[in-house]
Chain A
Amino acid sequence: MSVAASRSRLQGVGIVAGEVEAAALVCAERIGFNLGVDERTGVVVERGHPLEGQCVAGRVLVFPGSKGSTASSFSLLQLASLGLAPAAIVNGQSDAILVAGAVLADIPLVHRIDDALLATIRSGARVRVDGTRGVIEILDDTCN
């Protein structure tokens, strides 16, 4: 299958500007960055979380929204200072804590992608995120 044939486009609302292209990391559960993601390694450490053991660094992180402590804004900043932040964030609905963290850490952020459409993005797929226009393009979904 050619890249062009598998390309699909999702329209959301752009919240933090920036364009990036990277491999997606997708989960259907909320993420609590403070205490849920190790800020020294970028690895999800929350027990039982679907992404437990996976590293968020450099990925287009696709999840419904964040949860937990108001300190999570600074968790994103800490990850970014070590080069371990996600390349972009795609949410169903972002909250103020996550948005503030994305601004601080300069992470492009798009939200208001329908949950059913979010689920069509597969982990590992090449994804382009445009945080200004709120557009997600799935470039190559032939990987596993």
Chain B
Amino acid sequence: MQLTIGQQDLLEGRGGVAVPQAMRMLVAVGQAMDAPDLIEVASAHIVLDAFAMGRAGADWIASLRAGGSRFVVPTTINAISFDRRAAAADDPGNAFDTWQRRMLDDCEAMGALATCSCNPFNQGITPLYGEHLAWSESATTAYVNSVIGAHTNREGATAIASALTGFTPRYGMHLPAARLATVQFDVRCAADGEADLNLLGALIARQAGNEIPVITGLTRPTADELFGFAASFAIVANLPMFHIVGVTPQASTVAAACGGAAPRELKPVTAGDLDAERARYDDATQTVIDLVTIGAPHASLRQIRAVADLIGSRKVREGIEFTLTTNASNLALAGSCGLLDRLDAAGVTVTADKMCFGCDLGGRKFGQRAVLATNSVKAALSAPGTRGVKVRYGTVVQCVEAAVSGRWMSEESQCS
């Protein structure tokens, strides 16, 4: 790999202890992926999840700060394991909370912006078209490549190495040729709203294998729908990118998405495919609901407003726990707009910073018997494994009705 004199200096230890290790990490990744060199990144988005990083991760982060390191590019932090507003009430014996607080403090001291969210771009920290980034968290990666048209690979610890050095190896999504689609999915049924778009993202990811797909036949989705699509796409496949014709900046046509070539294969998506995908998450044998969660990924202000409007003056049924997860800036805006008061009066719990995966999800109250209603494939996929719950998957309307009535209201498929 070709390094500049400045990069060689960083590798050889003229920037403290942490920077040489970060450079070794980036160079090793570059060598493994045949990168010709390291390029500058405009920003980094780092995962700092105490559940995934544990004590060893927290100790490593502490060592970076102790060594005098700073993040040299704008750096945002992904969702964390607790809600900062509840920090004082946290169980001091909970090791994960202790590690999480230490990591957050250390990274803020090194210059990170504590967005604590999987969607910093809807908090006003928005990458620009064509920028090269080091962004971790699978859903944000897919979204910034596919919707914004910035360039990032799926990053893990490497995002922290890039935040410390300002560089990333030039491979994968940083190379125009690697971003081209090779397989086309033509949607031949109605696919509307967040629940359908979540399903579509998951089913296309499953069928795409290791190929970047280009998608046609979609009614123009909203930003919220696209982020839901990206999240379910990324959790099912390890793919960093998709193209939607007319949405993805480099995909004005199928040919443009494929670099002038024809796609290798055209796969139709039918109503039957969408129903089969829904059946993977939706346990139709369950009719009584205990828990409802909305906001995986973190709910936008519009999504918070939608829940408040749907529930209106009604209340969450006694015994049901309804959690809406969002980020701190949307939470603050929702407060200013009077939405939090309305949701509070209705009995909906709104949290910031953490994800539903970090919530108890009724575990203490219901043990393994709970039935969770959600409109998120990401939540539906993760909850049964990590929380032992059963899942009903559907629209936000179905989820809100379930919260009010305690029962799941079936809906005919809109596809024909």
Contacts and interface: CB of A to CB of B under 8 A. Distances in A.
Interface of A: 13, 15-16, 34-35, 39, 67-75, 77-78, 80-82, 93-97, 99-104, 109, 111
B184 interface: no
B137 interface: yes
B57 A99 contact: no
A71 B49 contact: yes
Secondary structure class of chain B's binding surface, majority of residues: helix
A71 B28 CA distance: 18
A100 B156 CA distance: 8
Interface stretch (B29-37, B284-292, B326-334): B29-37
Given A70-B47, A70-B155, A74-B157, A96 B56 contact: no
Contact of B156 (A67, A73, A80, A109): A73
B165 interface: no
B52 A15 contact: no
A71 B156 contact: yes
B54 interface: yes
A78 B154 CA distance: 21
Query: Which of A94, A96, A103: most chain B Cβ within 10 A?
Result: A96
Interface of B: 21, 24-25, 28-29, 31-33, 47, 49, 52-57, 59-60, 136-138, 153-158, 161, 238, 385
A129 to B, nearest CB: 15
A74 B54 contact: yes
A104 B31 contact: no
Contacts of B24: 103
A80 B56 contact: yes
12 contacts: A35-B385, A39-B54, A68-B238, A70-B136, A78-B54, A95-B32, A95-B33, A96-B32, A97-B154, A99-B25, A102-B28, A104-B60
A111 B32 contact: yes
A96 B31 contact: no
A74 B29 contact: no
Contact of A99 (B28, B49, B52, B154): B28
Contacts of B154: 70, 96-97
Secondary structure class of chain A's binding surface, majority of residues: helix
Given A35-B385, A104-B25, 8 more contacts: A71-B49, A72-B156, A74-B52, A75-B52, A77-B53, A80-B56, A96-B29, A100-B25
Contact of A81 (B25, B47, B55, B385): B55
A16 B28 contact: yes
Contacts of B155: 70, 96
A84 to B, nearest CB: 11
A102 B161 CA distance: 14
B32 A78 contact: no
Nearest to B158: A100
Contacts of A102: 28
Contact of A97 (B31, B59, B156): B156
B319 to A, nearest CB: 31
Query: Which of B25, B60, B157: most chain A Cβ within 10 A?
Result: B157
A81 B156 contact: no
A79 to B, nearest CB: 8
A69 B52 contact: yes
A103 B33 CA distance: 15
Contacts of A100: 25, 28-29, 156-158, 161
Given A96-B32, A96-B33, A101-B156, A67 B238 contact: yes
Given A74-B52, A96-B155, A13 B31 contact: yes
Contacts of B31: 13, 15
A95 B220 CA distance: 34
